[in-house]
Amino acid sequence: MSDITSWSAHQISTALAAGEVSSVEVTKAYLDRIDATDAVLGSFLARSSNALEVAKASDDARASGIVSSPLAGVPVAIKDVLCTTDMVTTAGSRILEGWVPPYDATVVSKLRAAGMVALGKTNMDEFAMGSSTEHSAYQVTKNPWDTTRAPGGSGGGSAAAVAARQAPVAIGSDTGGSIRQPAAFTGSVGVKPTYGGVSRYGVIALASSLDQVGPVARTVHDAALVHDVIAGYDSHDSTSIPTPWPSMSDAAETGARADDLSGVRFGVVKQLIGEGISASVRQRFDEAIELITSNGGEVVEIDAPHCEYAVAAYYLILPAEASSNLAKFDSVRFGLRVTPEGNPTVEDVMAATRDQGFGDEVKRRIILGTYALSAGYYDAYYGSAQKVRTLIQRDFAQAFEKVDVLISPCAPTTAFPLGSKLEDPLAMWAGDLTTIPVNLAGIPGMSIPMGLAPDDGLPVGLQLMAPAYQDARLYEAGATLERLFTQRDGTMLSMNTPEVN
């Protein structure tokens, strides 16, 4: 038997169904893999204390004829922004150090109901504010392809865990690219669903109008299987869409069987391939376009003029909503409390707690957001940014009248060296220029590996975008492209991560 951790989630599911392996064996293989590699990578902030017991329960249920989902018995890693009753939930912040929630996030409840086995909670930039997972209050996560490089952020822990075979699949959250950019940096598949397609209940909020939970996986089909588990209406979430969703795994299987891309129209957003895109990323993107056209797909240029202002608008909307959302961490109700000497007032305790409990990036964004919401500036900043957002939504709506899927590089560069952008927040923020428009528009986006950069040998991600509610379209097109890339290169990049030393 080959190393179980080299299997896809679908392969594990098939082997479990055939009785070739047990969930206990699979789970132990991944726990051993984490033990062997996480001292180097730092993917996990917490480990499950009962993973093997949950795996045993899954095996027992299967033996009695009860299989709750195709992923029953398959392990999963969970970003530490989702509440879990059996593990700490810190959102990568000292202000929540040691906090164990009294309830599970809806997504976590769905994973449990599907019979999946939680391995642990993955590292992240504090409160999901960052693009490198260097802003975690606890540790820095490293990229499995090159441990001197960042794994992306804010969900670098989930992407690194999947790429390093510490977990077959993982859950992330995406506010401006926090699933897709780490997937691009680590040669993984990452999906941001349509806004409202997956419940946000029990997810510690960053920017409520932008946040969305989604899967990280090693194949498009694996991501689709997880998406099928976590999607659906939730009455606890006021932004949840009350509509049935088609099977994403069926769509992925259809795409994988397609002979070519005949009949599919791809749009290249010219504002997302210009300034800031490195030469090596642009080279791989141009090769992807050639692959599409040589396999029957049609490619047209799309003008989305307001995407030029997306980063500026985003970094007003996000800090404003973050400032409001993080006001709850006030030292009074839960979380860290720092009491100054003497006879401090409530305000003194609150100020001391937030000063010590929040990191520099969080403080930077709270200050920016509070200013943008302050009297006399609300309309000029936050209000204007929302108007730009509406214009971006219109740009995408017009684009999808002409094409089926939009494409762009997922990140403007490959994974950058750890520490190289910490002193330049604007440079870090500019790295989100291709992913942010998707969140502002509320549409689904996906990153799939499209090869290695010719200069540094690191993964490059192709971003696919579809209209709202058309997530299945992404999986179908993504699976076809994944197969074509694999045929071209003779190997599936996401299944061949270098060994971690």
Residues serving a catalytic function are: 79, 154, 178
> How far apart, in whole angstroms, are the C-alpha atoms of residue 282 and residue 387?
31
> How far apart, in whole angstroms, are the C-alpha atoms of residue 470 and residue 228?
14
Please report, in angstroms and rounded to a whole number, the separation of the first and last CA atoms in the chain. 23
Say how many C-beta atoms besides its own lie within 10 A of residue 138's C-beta.
17
Q: Which residues of 147-172 are buried (b: 16+ CB within 10 A; e: fewer)?
A: bebbbbbbbbbbbbbbbbbbbbbbbb
DSSP symbols for 261-314: -TT-EEEEEGGGSSTT--HHHHHHHHHHHHHHHHTT-EEEEE--GGGGGHHHHH
> How far apart, in whole angstroms, are the C-alpha atoms of residue 77 and residue 171?
6
SS3 content of the chain, % helix, strand, coil (to 5): 45, 15, 45
Task: Output the CA–CA distances (angstroms, integers) from residue 415 to 38, 148, 377, 437, 458, in the order listed.
Answer: 19, 10, 37, 21, 7
Q: Is 216 left (phi over 0), alpha (psi -120 to 50) or beta?
A: beta
One-letter amino acid identity for 183? A
Cα four-point dihedral sign 136, 458, 169, 199: positive
Yes or no: say if 201 and 451 are a contact pair by the CB < 8 Å rule: no
Yes or no: say if 249 and 216 are a contact pair by the CB < 8 Å rule: no
